[in-house]
C-alpha cells in the first residue's frame, strides 16, 4: 500500500489522485476504489488522518438508515428547514440540497463496501436547537471503535490523538469510557457492570503498552481513520506519505498532470478522471491566515500540521477561486495552552467538559462575564473575538471553585484534581484562596470578579441567567450537568475556595472559507464554470454551512458526502 516515489515512473497514469489523507480525502479515495478506479492518495505528512484523527469524528448526515433507530420522526424536509434557517444566504442552497439528497447513499455505500461503520447516539442535539427543524438525535453519527492491531505495521501510519485527550500514556477514551471511568473512580464497588467495563479496557491497554507505543483500542477520530486505512489497503489504493504536490497542470481537457516531490526527488504523473483536493484548508498558510483570520495566532490552532494551504496556490493558478459570504472564515473553539515536558505546545480545545458546567463562568480582562457560556464552541470563539474589539477578552479566563474542579476538572486537569498540582506548578492554572487573591493574580478588577460570582450564585438559585440567558435551549442544557440538583443544569454557584482559572484563546479548528464548487464538488473558476478534472472536498471546499456551526459533525458530514460525489464524477470521467 505505502509507496515510495521510486515506485512511480514519470507519466504513470491514475484514474483518480486524491491530495490530502484526512477524513474527507481518505473517503474520496475509498469511494473511487470501491468503483474500481486506480487511485493514488498523496499525503504531505508522515501520518494519515489529518485533524479528523484528533477529532470526535462525529459526522452530521440527515436521512440515513441509522436515523430511524433513534428518531423515526425526522425527515429531510425538517433537516432542510433547519439548515435554511441556520445558514440562510451564507452558502449556495443548491449545494445544501445536494448534501441532503445524497447523504443516505453516501453512508450506505461506504458502510456496505468497507470497514467504516457508524452508529447514532440516543441524544446528540443540534447546536442551534432553538431553530425549527432541529433535532436531538439521528443526524449525528459516530464511528464504531476499531482494533488498531488489524492494521499490523500500518498502525504506525495513523496520526496519534492529542496526548491530553488520552489517559495512562496513550489510552484513548470516548464519552462512554469517561462516564464509566468517573463512576469507577467515585465508587469502584458500586456497579459490577462498571467494574467489568473499566477492568476490560484497562487490561487491554496494559497489554498494548507491552507491545505498542500507545493503545490500539481506537475510538472517535482514530477509529474512523483506522477503518478507512484498512479499507484502502484492502482495495489496493496506493498511498504516498511525506509527499508534496508541487505543480498542477491544466491541459485541453482539464487538470491532467501533477508533479510530486518526496525526499528531494520528483515525478510527473498523469490523471485521467481528476484530482481531488482534500488538503485541510488554508489555516497554516501565512498570507491567507493573515487575511482571513487576522489576530488569531497560529499557535492557538489545535488542528493537525498538514493544512499549510500550499495546494491552494496551485489550484488558484489553474483557475479555482474562493467562495465568499460566510459568517466566519474559520470554525472556532476556545483553547488553552500549555508547554509540554518535551518543549512542544499543547493546544487543548474546551468543547463540552467544563465551560458550560455548573460552577463555571468566563470573564474578560475586566473581570466581567460577557456572554452565554453554554453556547457552542464555535460561537464562543466568534464571541471572544468580537468582544475583544471593545474590551480586552483575548485571553479570557474560565473560572471555577473547588467544587467545580472536583466534579468536572478544567481543561487538561481531570476531575477529582488529577493533574492539578502539576498544572499549578507550571502556571497552566492560576489559583487563589479568595476571589480577591485570584483577581490579583489574573490582573482583573476584584470587585467585578466578585460581582460576577455573586450574580452566578443568584442565577443558580433561581435557574435564570438574567444577563445572558445561559442554559435556555435543549443544546445549552445538554452542555450542563444532567445530575445537577439545581433548577438549571448549566448554572451553579462559585463560592467554595480555593478558586481556579485558566486562560482561553480563540483557536481555529478548521477552515470555513475555501474553494467554490458545484453540486458535484467540481471547482469553479472566476466565471463560476466547472474546472474539468479538479474537485474540492473537506475544509478545502467552501463550507456549505456558510461559516455557521449548526450541529455536531457539520464538517465531516459534508466532507463525506462530497467525497462520494467527487469520486463518482471523477471515476465516470476516467471511463468516458
**Mean pLDDT for each 10-residue chunk of the chain (576 residues)?**
93 97 98 98 98 97 98 97 98 98 98 98 96 98 96 96 86 82 72 85 87 92 98 98 97 96 97 98 97 97 96 98 97 97 94 96 98 98 98 98 96 93 97 98 98 98 98 97 95 98 98 98 98 98 98 98 98 96
Q: How many other C-beta atoms lie within 10 A of the C-beta of residue 501? A: 24
- 32 in Cβ contact with 567 (< 8 Å): yes
- Here the CATH number for the domain that contains residue 556 is 3.50.50.60
End-to-end CA distance of the chain: 27
CB 398 within 8 A of CB 362: yes
246 & 97 share domain:
yes
> Looking at residue 168, what is its pLDDT?
78
Is residue 190 included in any domain, yes or no? no
User: Are 467 and 545 found together in one domain?
Assistant: no
| Distance separating alpha carbons of residues 514 and 282, to the nearest angstrom | 8
Assess whether 477 and 413 both reside in one domain.
yes
Domain termination site, one of 464, 488, 508: 508
**Do 449 and 519 fall into the same domain?**
no
Whole-number Cα distances in Å, 167 to 173, 298, 419, 422? 7, 27, 11, 15
Q: Which residues pair with 60 in a beta bridge?
A: 140
**Structural domain of 12:** 5-144+222-282+512-575
What distance in Å separates the CA atoms of residue 22 and residue 538, rounded to the nearest whole number?
A: 8
Chain centroid offset of residue 183 CA: 27
- Residue 552: which residues within 8 A CB-CB, separation 6 or more? 56, 58, 60, 124, 126, 127, 140
The neighbour count for residue 122, using CB atoms within 10 Å, is 10
pLDDT of residue 189: 67
- Answer yes or no: do 41 and 122 share one domain: yes
User: Cell digits for 556?
Assistant: 465531516
Domain membership of residue 302 (yes or no) is no
Q: Is cis: bond before 235, omega within 30 of 0?
A: no
518 shares a domain with 497: no
Per-residue confidence (pLDDT) for residue 517, from 0 to 100 = 98
Residues 346 and 402 grouped into a single domain: yes
Where is the domain boundary, 463, 479, 508? 508
351, part of any domain: yes
- CATH number at 401 reads 3.90.700.10
pLDDT of residue 165: 86
Asked if residue 53 is part of any domain, the answer here is yes
Q: Are residues 518 and 500 in the same domain?
A: no
* φ and ψ at residue 420, rounded to 5 degrees: -65, -45
Distances (CA, A) of 234 to 29, 30, 34, 231: 12, 10, 10, 5
- Judge whether 212 lies within some domain: no
> Which pLDDT belongs to residue 34?
98
SS3 breakdown of the chain: % helix, strand, coil, rounded to 5?
40, 20, 40
Q: Rounded to 5 degrees, what are φ and ψ at 245?
A: -90, 120
Q: Are 104 and 560 in contact (CB under 8 A)?
A: no
- The pLDDT of residue 498 is 98
Q: Which of 508, 529, 560 is the last residue of a domain?
A: 508
C-alpha cell at 460: 443558580
- On whether both 13 and 95 belong to a single domain, the answer is yes
Residues 6+ apart with CB under 8 A from 463: 471, 486, 487, 488, 491
Domain membership of residue 369 (yes or no) is yes
Domain presence at residue 168: no
Is 468 in the same domain as 557? no
Closest listed residue to residue 511, CA positions, set 253, 266, 234, 312: 312
Tell whether 149 is covered by a domain: no
- Give the ranges where 143-254 is alpha helix by DSSP (H): 175-186, 192-211, 220-234
| Dist CA 522 CA 275 (whole Å) | 10
56 with 132, same domain? yes
Give yes or no: residues 472 and 419 share one domain: yes
Q: Are 26 and 229 in contact (CB under 8 A)?
A: yes
Q: In the chain, how many domains are there?
A: 2
Q: What is the pLDDT of residue 71?
A: 97
Amino acid at each position: 500500500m505505502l509507496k515510495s516515489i521510486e515506485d512511480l515512473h514519470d507519466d504513470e497514469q491514475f484514474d483518480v489522485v486524491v491530495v490530502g489523507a484526512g477524513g474527507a480525502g481518505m473517503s474520496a479515495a475509498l469511494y473511487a476504489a470501491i468503483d474500481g478506479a486506480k487511485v493514488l492518495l498523496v499525503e504531505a505528512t508522515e501520518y494519515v488522518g489529518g485533524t479528523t484523527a484528533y477529532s470526535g469524528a462525529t459526522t452530521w448526515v440527515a436521512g440515513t438508515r441509522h436515523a430511524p433507530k433513534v428518531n423515526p420522526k425526522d425527515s429531510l424536509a425538517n433537516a432542510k428547514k433547519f439548515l435554511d434557517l441556520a445558514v440562510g444566504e451564507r452558502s449556495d442552497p443548491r449545494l445544501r440540497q445536494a448534501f441532503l439528497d445524497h447523504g443516505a447513499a453516501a453512508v450506505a455505500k461506504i458502510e456496505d463496501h468497507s470497514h467504516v461503520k457508524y452508529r447514532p447516539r440516543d441524544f446528540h442535539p443540534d447546536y442551534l436547537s432553538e431553530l425549527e427543524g432541529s433535532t436531538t438525535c439521528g443526524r449525528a453519527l459516530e464511528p464504531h471503535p476499531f482494533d488498531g492491531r488489524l492494521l499490523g505495521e500500518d498502525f504506525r501510519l495513523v496520526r496519534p490523538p492529542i496526548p491530553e485527550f488520552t489517559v495512562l500514556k496513550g489510552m484513548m477514551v470516548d464519552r462512554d469510557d469517561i462516564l464509566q471511568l468517573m463512576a469507577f473512580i467515585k465508587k469502584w464497588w458500586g456497579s459490577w457492570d462498571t467494574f467489568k467495563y473499566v477492568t476490560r479496557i484497562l487490561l487491554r491497554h496494559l497489554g498494548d503498552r507491552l507491545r505498542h507505543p500507545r493503545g490500539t483500542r481506537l475510538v472517535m477520530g482514530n477509529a474512523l481513520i483506522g477503518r478507512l486505512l484498512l479499507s484502502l489497503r484492502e482495495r489496493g489504493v496506493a498511498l504516498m506519505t511525506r509527499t508534496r504536490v508541487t505543480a498542477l497542470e491544466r491541459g485541453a481537457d482539464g487538470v491532467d498532470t501533477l508533479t510530486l516531490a518526496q525526499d528531494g526527488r520528483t515525478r510527473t504523473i498523469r490523471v485521467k478522471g481528476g484530482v481531488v483536493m482534500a488538503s485541510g484548508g488554508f489555516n497554516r498558510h501565512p498570507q491567507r491566515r493573515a487575511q482571513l483570520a487576522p489576530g488569531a495566532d497560529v499557535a492557538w490552532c489545535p488542528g493537525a500540521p498538514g493544512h499549510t494551504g500550499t495546494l491552494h496556490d496551485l489550484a488558484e493558478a489553474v483557475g479555482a477561486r474562493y467562495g465568499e459570504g460566510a459568517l466566519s472564515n474559520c470554525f472556532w473553539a476556545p483553547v488553552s495552552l500549555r508547554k509540554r515536558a518535551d518543549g512542544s505546545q499543547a493546544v487543548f480545545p474546551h468543547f463540552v467538559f467544563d465551560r458550560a458546567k455548573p460552577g463555571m463562568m468566563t470573564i474578560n480582562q475586566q473581570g466581567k462575564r460577557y456572554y452565554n457560556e453554554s453556547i457552542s464552541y464555535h460561537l464562543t470563539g466568534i464571541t471572544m473575538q468580537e468582544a475583544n474589539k471593545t474590551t480586552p477578552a483575548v485571553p479570557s479566563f474560565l473560572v471555577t471553585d473547588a467544587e467545580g474542579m472536583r466534579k468536572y476538572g478544567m481543561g487538561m486537569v481531570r476531575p477529582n484534581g488529577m493533574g492539578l498540582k502539576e498544572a499549578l506548578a507550571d502556571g497552566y492554572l492560576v489559583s487563589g484562596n479568595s476571589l480577591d487573591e485570584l483577581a490579583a493574580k489574573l490582573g482583573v478588577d476584584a470587585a467585578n470578579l466578585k460581582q460576577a460570582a455573586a450574580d452566578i450564585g443568584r442565577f443558580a438559585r433561581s435557574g435564570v441567567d438574567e444577563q445572558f440567558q445561559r442554559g435556555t435551549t435543549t443544546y445549552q442544557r445538554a452542555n450542563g450537568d444532567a445530575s445537577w440538583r439545581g433548577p438549571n443544569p448549566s448554572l451553579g454557584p462559585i463560592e467554595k475556595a480555593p478558586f481556579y482559572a485558566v486562560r482561553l484563546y480563540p483557536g481555529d479548528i478548521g477552515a470555513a472559507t475555501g474553494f467554490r464548487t458545484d453540486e458535484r464538488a467540481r471547482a469553479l473558476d472566476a466565471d463560476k464554470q466547472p474546472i474539468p478534472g479538479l474537485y474540492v472536498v473537506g475544509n478545502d471546499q467552501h463550507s456549505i454551512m456558510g461559516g455557521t456551526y449548526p450541529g455536531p459533525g457539520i464538517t465531516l458530514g459534508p466532507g463525506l458526502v462530497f467525497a462520494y460525489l467527487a469520486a463518482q464524477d471523477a471515476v465516470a470521467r476516467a471511463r468516458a
